[in-house]
Structure formats: C-alpha cells, structure tokens
C-alpha cells in the first residue's frame, strides 16, 4: 500500500507502542505514528505487517512477540487487562486490582518500583501467589463513557509499612505468557525537599481503552459503527478511572515521569510522591515542600489543583514544569456510581454550548502561573538554542550563547506570549529561544522560562516534551540538561 493511501494519527497506546518496559528496554520517549487505512480500519502496533484477520474473526490479530518471551495483551482479545480501584495508597494501606483473563486461567502479579537501581530502571519488590483469572463482564458504556467498575475484585495487595514511597507498576502475566501492566503510587506525608506529582489525570484523558474498533473512547477519540476513528467533536466528554489503560496497560507519556524519577533517585534528591488527584482532593499540603515537580505532560487541571499550586508558590514553594502544554484544559472530577470520589474525569472541550474550558479563554491563561504557555506541536525534533548562557542555570554545563542541544524541542512547545499577562515576579529570564517549523511548515519558536515570585519561589518551565527524557533515557541523555536540572534542583533544595 502506497504512502498516499495511509493516514496517521496520535492517541493512546496505539501511538506509543509500549510492550514491556522492564524486559525490553525503556518506555518510548515520544508519541509515534500509527497507520490506519482509508477504510478506517486501525492497524495497531502489535499487528504483524501484512497479516490479515479472518473474515469471520476479530479485525485485529493477536499480539506478536519478537523475542519469544511474554506477549503483550491487546484490547480486542483481552488476554489479560486490569486496573486499580484506588489512586495513591499509603504504606500500611491496601490497593485492589480488578483483572480480566481470557481464556480463564491462572495469572501472577510482579510488583516493581521505578527508580535508578544501578541503571536497571526498576526493581521487583514482590510477587503475588498464583491467582485464578476469570473473564470479567464487558465494559459498560453510557454516552461514550466506558467503565469497568462492575468487575469483581481479583487481588488485594496489602502495602507493608516498610515499603518505600514511589511510583510502582504491577506486571500481570498469564500462564500462557500474555502480559499487561497497572501503574500505581505509594505515598505518605513524610517531609521531603521535593514533591513529585504524577499526572494521572492527563494519563486518563488520553486513555482510549478499549482499543477494539468499537467501544473505546478518550477525550480525544472514539469509534464509529464501522470501526473508524473519530475526533474530538465525537469523543467522550467524561472518562472513567475504573478501566485499564489501553494496549499494554501503561499510559501515554508515562515514560517522562519515569525518566525524571531515575535521574532524581540516582543523584539522591529527597522525593515525596503523589498523584494529580491527590493534589485535587487536598490529600497533600504542597507548602510543606521546597518544590513541586511536574515531570511529564500535565495538560488537564482542575480549578482546585491550580488554586492549591498558586497558593503554594505564593508561600514560597518552587515549581518545576519539565514538559510543555501544561494546564491547558480545565477539568472537573466526580464520583463513580458507587460513590467513590474522583473516579470520573469530565472535560466538555468544544462539544455543544456551555462555558469555555481552556484556561486562557476564561481570562486565566497558563502563562500567569507557568511563565510561558502552549504554542503548538513540533512535528519533528529541533535543537534547543541556549539563551542567556551566563545565567546560573547553565553554570558548569559547558553551554554557550547560541549553542544548540539537538532534538530537545520535540512533541509540543511553549513560548512567551507578549500580549498575555505575566505572573507577578521579582526576576524573570528566558533561557532558550528555539526556532522550529510547525505542522504547516510555518516558522515558530520555543522558549524556556524561569522567574522568581515575590515569595522567593522559583518557577521553571522547560517548554518542551523532551526535557525529562534527556535526564535518563538511553539514547536521549544530554549532560548539559542533566547539569542544568541539577543546578535548578540544588538551588530549590538549598544544597551547597
């Protein structure tokens, strides 16, 4: 099939092609492209090239395994899929897993903690007993919202009091070798220099589960009755946390957070962990920390999240935004049908009449907090061009004025908007000014920003998706970015 007959799109697990980040290398660092043909039939990453399904069978063949090891489950056959019914959990608490297995058979769960661990990237913490897998009921759908809240409990993991806080992944494996994943967070209220906030709200916004050509929906896409992928105007306005993540079970952009975690733990930074929903629900007091770190793509924010972070900044807590297109959409969180809070995420976007949901459309542009704001997509990686190289952020990096850091402007980019109000500040500086061509070929530019609030808090924004991968992603590490990030964190943490 010629390239003129192929269209490309970006969404969910189809786009980032995760398989097994622990056994087969790092999680991919940016969204990739996945083809689907003119008849609208999606060809996911796990389909063997050129292989066609049987006429009377599912449209998507079973996953392939290039290594002969475990095979990644998919959303058509649902060999094994699962989700956690709670968000972050404290040591001493419990987390419930709801898992479907088809055909029914035994399965096991290996629990990993994400960290540096001598370069391994994760460490196995525990393994479940052999568990009995059943075929759970089909997902429920209501007005594009997909939920599996009616699935039976499969396993309850009691978190020992001695477990380290952090980002964890439960790796589900069937007896016949199919594999899927469930991310979760272990947090507590112990003091720390830095609080890492995992963007689980944005992860769920992109979740297209199930990617089966019929049922799945995210805030970006849904399917029509012929299996064609529809855009935002036909997507879900509400998505549920009570469902697996699409594909191999890991969220889009999850690798950005893992890149920062490996870097920060390698160099001994004192980290606490929480999810964005913890920030929304008031489960944490961000003013207790010297800095809040937003390590990856963090596009969807509630009014409560923004207000809490603004108050923290105004009381002296620094903010570190290591991605782009942060805090773009305003969202609401609501309870599940069972009454469990914050299990439904709503963002109407541009579907029908109602109040605007872009922060900049309600006269509260992102720039008033972050210092810069979303400018557009970057179709191909471009170099980040160093600006104000004499500034302490670039100290000991070896970077000079106008130096280019290859590939560091990628995915999406932010910049300063001169006609948009800036936050109140005592000092402000732009540390990169990088030209790139947008999807239409027009010349645009990216910028990296730093300002000091009157409270003394520093607010840094990288303005690009590619900053966190440059910290500890094999093939993308850049020593200048590592040193610049260390300069920033050391200053926030008051390190000598």
Q: Are 157 and 299 in the same domain?
A: no
**Residues 121 and 184 both lie in one domain:** yes
Q: What is the pLDDT of residues 181-224, one digit of tens each?
A: 999 999 998 889 999 999 999 999 999 999 888 899 999 888 88
For the cut 50, the answer to whether the pLDDT of residue 18 exceeds it is no
470 in a structural domain? yes
- Verify that 300 and 234 share a domain, yes or no: no
- Return the number of other C-beta atoms located less than 10 Å from residue 259's C-beta: 27
Residue 65 pLDDT greater than 70, yes or no: no
Residues 221 and 162 in one domain: yes
Grade residue 354 by pLDDT with cuts at 50, 70 and 90: low
Statement to judge: residues 231 and 289 lie in one domain = no
In the predicted model, is pLDDT for residue 71 greater than 70? yes
Report the distance separating Cα 199 and Cα 251, nearest Å.
10
So what's the pLDDT on residue 41?
A: 41
Is residue 56, in this structure, part of any structural domain at all? yes
Residue 496: predicted pLDDT = 56
| pLDDT (0 to 100) of residue 343 | 96
Are 186 and 322 contained in the same domain?
A: no
Tell me, yes or no, whether 355 lies in a domain. Answer: no
Q: Of 150, 170, 181, whose CA–CA distance to 72 is shortest?
A: 181
Domain membership flag for residue 250: no
CA distance 240 to 343: 6
**What pairing do the DSSP bridges indicate for beta strands 318-321 and 291-294?**
parallel
Which of 217, 240, 263 is the C-terminal boundary of a domain? 240
The answer, yes or no, to whether residue 40 has pLDDT greater than 50, is no
Q: Are 29 and 254 in contact (CB under 8 A)?
A: no
**Please, which pLDDT band fits residue 351 given cuts at 50, 70 and 90?**
low
**Residue 387: which CATH number?**
3.40.50
Lowest mean pLDDT among 40-49, 84-93, 115-124, 271-280: 40-49
Q: Per the structure block, which two tokens stand in for 416? A: 């300063």
pLDDT band per the 50, 70, 90 thresholds, residue 352: low
**Residue 350 pLDDT class (50, 70, 90 cuts):** low
Same-domain status, 38 and 146:
yes
Query: 259: closest CA among 329, 322, 304, 309?
Result: 322
Domain end point (choices 240, 270, 295): 240
Count the residues in the chain.
496
44 and 34 Cβ atoms separated by less than 8 Å? yes
Q: Are residues 307 and 217 in the same domain?
A: no
**Quick check: is 270 in a domain?**
no
pLDDT at 39 over 50: no
Tens digit of each residue's pLDDT (9 = 90 or more) over 417-427: 999 999 999 99
Predicted pLDDT of residue 359: 95
Query: pTM for the full model?
Result: 0.89
Residues 234 and 303 in one domain: no
Where is pLDDT greater, at 36 or 120?
Answer: 120
Q: Are residues 301 and 410 in the same domain?
A: yes
Helix 254-266 and helix 479-492, axial crossing angle in degrees, nearest 10: 70
Q: How confident is the model at residue 66 (pLDDT cuts 50, 70, 90)?
A: very low
Distance CA 124, CA 113 (A): 6
335 domain residue, yes or no = no
Is the model's pLDDT at 450 over the cut of 90? yes
- 275 located within any domain: no
CA distance 170 to 177: 15
Q: Is the same domain home to 179 and 311?
A: no
Contacts of 224 (CB under 8 A, 6+ apart): 40, 230, 234
> What is the domain extent for residue 410?
285-328+366-492
Judge whether 127 and 170 are in contact, CB under 8 Å.
no
Average pLDDT, the chain: 85
The mean per-residue pLDDT over the stretch 140-165 comes to 95
Query: Residue 54: what pLDDT?
Result: 41
Q: Are residues 170 and 313 in the same domain?
A: no
Average pLDDT over residues 383-412: 96
CATH of the domain at 77: 2.60.40.1930
Residues 192/272, Cβ–Cβ less than 8 Å: yes
142: in domain: yes
pLDDT given at position 398: 97
Give the contacts of 436 (CB within 8 A, at least 6 positions apart).
378, 380, 382, 409, 413, 443, 444, 445, 446
Three-state secondary-structure class, residue 331 = strand
Mean pLDDT: which of 110-114, 284-288, 289-293 is highest?
289-293
Tokens 């429920």, residue?
Answer: 140
The total number of structural domains in the chain stands at 2
């Amino acid at each position: 099939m010629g390239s003129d007959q192929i269209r490309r799109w970006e969404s969910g697990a189809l786009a980032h092609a995760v398989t097994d980040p622990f056994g087969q290398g790092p999680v991919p660092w940016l969204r990739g492209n996945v083809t689907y043909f003119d008849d609208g039939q999606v060809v996911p990453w796990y389909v063997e090239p050129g292989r066609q399904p049987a006429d009377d069978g599912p449209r998507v063949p079973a996953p392939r395994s290039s290594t002969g090891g475990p095979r990644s489950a998919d959303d058509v056959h649902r060999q094994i899929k699962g989700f956690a019914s709670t968000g972050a959990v404290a040591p001493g608490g419990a987390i419930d897993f709801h898992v479907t297995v088809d055909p029914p058979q035994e399965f096991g769960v290996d629990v990993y903690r994400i960290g540096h661990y001598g370069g391994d990237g994760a460490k196995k913490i525990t393994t479940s007993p052999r568990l009995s897998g059943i075929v759970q009921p089909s997902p429920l759908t209501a007005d594009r919202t997909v939920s599996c809240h009616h699935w039976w409990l499969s396993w309850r993991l009691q978190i020992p009091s001695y477990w380290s806080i952090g980002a964890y992944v439960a790796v589900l494996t069937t007896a016949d070798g199919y594999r899927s994943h469930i991310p979760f967070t272990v947090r507590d209220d112990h003091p720390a220099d830095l609080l890492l906030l995992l963007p689980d709200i944005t992860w769920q916004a992109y979740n297209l589960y199930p990617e089966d050509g019929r049922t799945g929906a995210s805030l970006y896409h849904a399917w029509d009755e012929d299996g064609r992928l529809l855009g935002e105007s036909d997507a879900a306005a509400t998505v549920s946390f009570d469902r697996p993540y699409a594909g191999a079970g890991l969220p889009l952009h999850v690798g950005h957070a893992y890149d920062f975690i490996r870097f920060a733990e390698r160099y001994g930074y004192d980290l606490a962990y929480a999810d964005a929903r913890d920030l929304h629900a008031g489960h944490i007091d961000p003013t207790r920390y010297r800095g809040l770190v937003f390590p990856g793509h963090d596009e969807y924010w509630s009014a409560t999240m923004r207000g809490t972070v603004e108050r923290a900044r105004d009381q002296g807590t620094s903010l570190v935004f290591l991605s782009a297109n942060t805090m773009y959409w305003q969202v609401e969180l609501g309870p599940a049908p069972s009454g469990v809070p914050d299990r439904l995420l709503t963002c109407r976007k541009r579907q029908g009449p109602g109040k605007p949901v872009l922060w900049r459309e309600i006269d509260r542009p992102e720039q008033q907090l972050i210092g810069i704001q979303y400018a557009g997509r970057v179709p191909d990686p471009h170099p980040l061009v160093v600006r104000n190289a004499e500034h302490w952020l670039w100290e000991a990096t070896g970077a000079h004025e106008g130096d280019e850091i290859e590939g560091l402007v990628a995915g999406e980019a932010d910049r300063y908007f001169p006609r948009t109000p800036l936050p109140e500040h005592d000092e402000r500086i732009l540390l990169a000014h990088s030209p790139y061509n947008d999807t239409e070929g027009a010349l645009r530019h990216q910028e990296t920003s730093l300002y000091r609030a009157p409270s003394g808090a520093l607010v840094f924004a990288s303005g690009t998706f590619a900053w966190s991968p440059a910290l500890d992603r094999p093939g993308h590490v850049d020593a200048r970015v590592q040193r610049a990030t260390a300069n920033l964190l050391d200053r926030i943490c008051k390190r000598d």
